[in-house]
Structure 1
Amino acid sequence: MESDELYMQVQRPKYDCLLFDLDDTLYPLSSGLASAVLKNIQDYMIKKLGIEESKITDMGNLLYNNYGTTMAGLRAIGYDFDYDEYHSFVHGRLPYENLKPDPVLRSLLLSLPVRKVIFTNADKVHAIKVLSKLGLEDCFEGIICFETLNPIHKSSISDDEDDIEFLGSTQSSTASNGSPQIFDIIGHFCQPNEGSDGLPKTPVICKPSESAIERALEIAYINPLRTLFFEDSVRNIQSGKRVGLHTVLVGKSQKVKGADYAMESIHYLREAIPELWENDKIREVNYSGVGVAVETSITT
């Protein structure tokens, strides 16, 4: 009888894992990084890909809205470039100095005795730098990033078995003959009754694709039914909900379709979801010995 009572007192928590987006979720949009990223992407399109400046805004919006990220869209419509070079150009000149250590968020994260994992479309270098600037590098078990879902960086398929294991169904769409034909996405949407169904597929795997989220969960051994997903993007929230995740929209006070919770700031975590602390008697997980997150992360 005593054992039954003890079991009832220390029940299994509702969530086994907390899955966090990175940019504009763990720090506010007001930091200025998002606007700097947009400017750098536009500069890359003009200076590196030779796209006419007059087309940049319309093309960028169409690529982002239809493919999840501008990079994914650029690769889909036929532009060939090195992923690492792109990330270096887009993230290498960001105002990281605007990010400051966040001891309040650090304390909140470390007080939660469940797995905590980062899931971002950004590259590994950027993710590590942001976490370091925020003072959160040892608060997470691992990082799921661009390299996690897109381990193939060359135009040809690698013979490495680990690379082959992670290949996605659309990973082999690179043109092999001379300069590839660029798909006119602006012209496509100018045609009457044309929608996204006729668009070329992208070799890049990223949110908000449901298959990308499912792949990330598979790689990290995460059960969506016992996971809380924190995101600032409504479409990512909705995709996460469709694959079974419990969802938290960060940056908004009102819930939207697909969001189980909403909070204006990640700092309101305890007030918005107090049930996360209902099982304080469960042994606390300590990541203090992990070191830099990526060293034991899911990026390898």
Structure 2
Amino acid sequence: MEFDDRFMQAQRTKFDCLLFDLDDTLYPYSSGIATACRINIEDYMVEKLGIDRSIIPELGNLLYKNYGTTMAGLRAIGYDFDYDEYHSFVHGRLPYENIKPDPVLRSLLLNLPYRKIIFTNADQIHAAKALSRLGLEDIFEGIICFETLNPIHKNTVSDDEDDIEFVGLSSTTTTTSSSQIFDIIGHFATANPTSKLPKTPIVCKPSEDAIERALKIANINPQRTLFFEDSVRNIQAGKRVGLQTVLVGTSQRVKGADYALESIHNLREAIPELWEADRKSKVGYSGKVAVETSVTA
């Protein structure tokens, strides 16, 4: 029995789960998707919310900086809009053809015998399109996305009890008068603002609450999970809730990042311990049968 325990400890690897951001993490920033998305957000603010284009650079920067996403910030300061319409406008016109199939990444991920889950602030439709373009649509156990963390009413799309439950979202559009809008530009222009920033009803990264909810939904142990992100603040929030972290897009480590990768393709070179499970499975013990860990799509 004592030998069996030592054998199992030798077989146990450092990680159980790989938690991946999607945009600018699994495909590069150079694809132009992020830039196109920003332009679409600005157009939505002008065309749908009636915001003066001249203030959008400053407003958008403040919303993103203080709320995690422009969408979350817009809702915080008083704009009311249909969430599905917003996502359709912002993501519906993206140049998805710029995202190319990535057989190298596919092979890397298929050879990693861990749970693999997507965790994105984007909506489910966008996540599915991007993964399909990459050729990775069957690699991940599930997708934790905007709808997962911001349910209005649930809509289970899979009967497989082993899948992460996805939730649908419905929202009604109402008119918001300018008098109801919190002046966040004026707030930060004041030397000693007396008012507090309003809270957003939207749950998203880099909120620690959002990350903790995602971990609970997917039944993830943060201490045995690697969190891959291109955002420094998301990495740092993940570190605060106990995740082991990988900053993607630079080889320069920052505070809160356990590893740093210039590209997701550098996975094997930068984090060789991910392949420990494969090496250990090849170690023979008399009277022991090696158990092969399967990768489920």
TM range (shorter): 0.7 to 0.9
Corresponding residue number in structure 1 for 2:67: 67
Aligned to 2:256, which of 233, 255, 258? 258
Deviation at 1:193, TM superposition (A): 2.7
Q: Count how many residue pairs are aligned between Structure 1 and Structure 2.
A: 270
Who is 1:284 aligned against?
293
After superposition, residues 103-118 of structure 1 pair within 5 angstroms as 103-118=103-118
- Measured in 2, the distance between the counterparts of 1:13 and 1:53 equals 52
Distance 1:94 1:177 in 2: 27
Name 1:297's counterpart in structure 2.
none
SS at match of 1:26: coil
Q: Distance in 2 between matches of 1:205 and 1:49?
A: 21
**Long gaps (5+) in structure 1:** 153-157, 167-173, 291-300
Equivalent residues of 1:19, 1:228 under 8 A apart: yes
Match of 2:214 in 1: 216
Q: Tell me which of 225, 231, 234 is aligned to 1:233.
A: 231
TM-score normalised by the chain length of structure 2: 0.86
> CA shift at 1:85, angstroms?
0.1
- Residue 34 of structure 2 aligns to a residue whose secondary structure is helix
Whole-angstrom distance in 1 between the partners of 2:99 and 2:87: 19
Does 2:188 correspond to 1:189?
Answer: yes
Aligned residue number for residue 206 of structure 1: 204
Alignment deviations for residues 156-176 of structure 1 (CA, whole Å, 9 cap, x no partner): xx6x799xxx9xxxxxxx999
Deviation at 1:3, TM superposition (A): 3.9
1:279 deviates by 1.1
Deviation at 1:84, TM superposition (A): 0.3
Distance 1:115 1:149 in 2: 20
Q: What are the equivalent positions in structure 2 for 1:1-300 lying under 5 Å apart?
A: 3=4, 6-7=7-8, 10-152=10-152, 179=177, 181-194=180-193, 198-280=196-278, 281=281, 283-287=292-296, 290=297
Distance, in Å, in 1 between the alignment partners of 2:294 and 2:66 is 40
Q: Is the 8 A contact 1:228 1:248 kept in 2?
A: yes
Structure 2 unmatched runs, 5+: 157-164, 166-171, 282-290
Alpha-carbon contact 1:113-1:283 (below 8 Å) kept: no
Cα deviations by residue, 1:177-200 (Å, 9 ceiling, x for unpaired): 9746000110110000339x8100
SS in 2 for 1:215: helix
Change (3 A) 1:91 1:5: same
Do the aligned partners of residues 283 and 64 (structure 1) sit closer, same or farther apart at CA in structure 2, a change above 3 Å counting?
A: same
Cα separation, 1, equivalents of 2:6 and 2:201: 54
Amino acid at match of 1:51: I
SS at match of 1:278: helix
Partner AA of 1:14 in structure 2: K
Q: Is contact 2:80–2:175 with CA below 8 Å preserved after alignment?
A: no
Distance 1:147 1:177 in 2: 23
Amino acid at match of 1:203: P
| Counterpart Cα distance in 1 of 2:133 and 2:191 | 48
Q: Percent identity?
A: 73
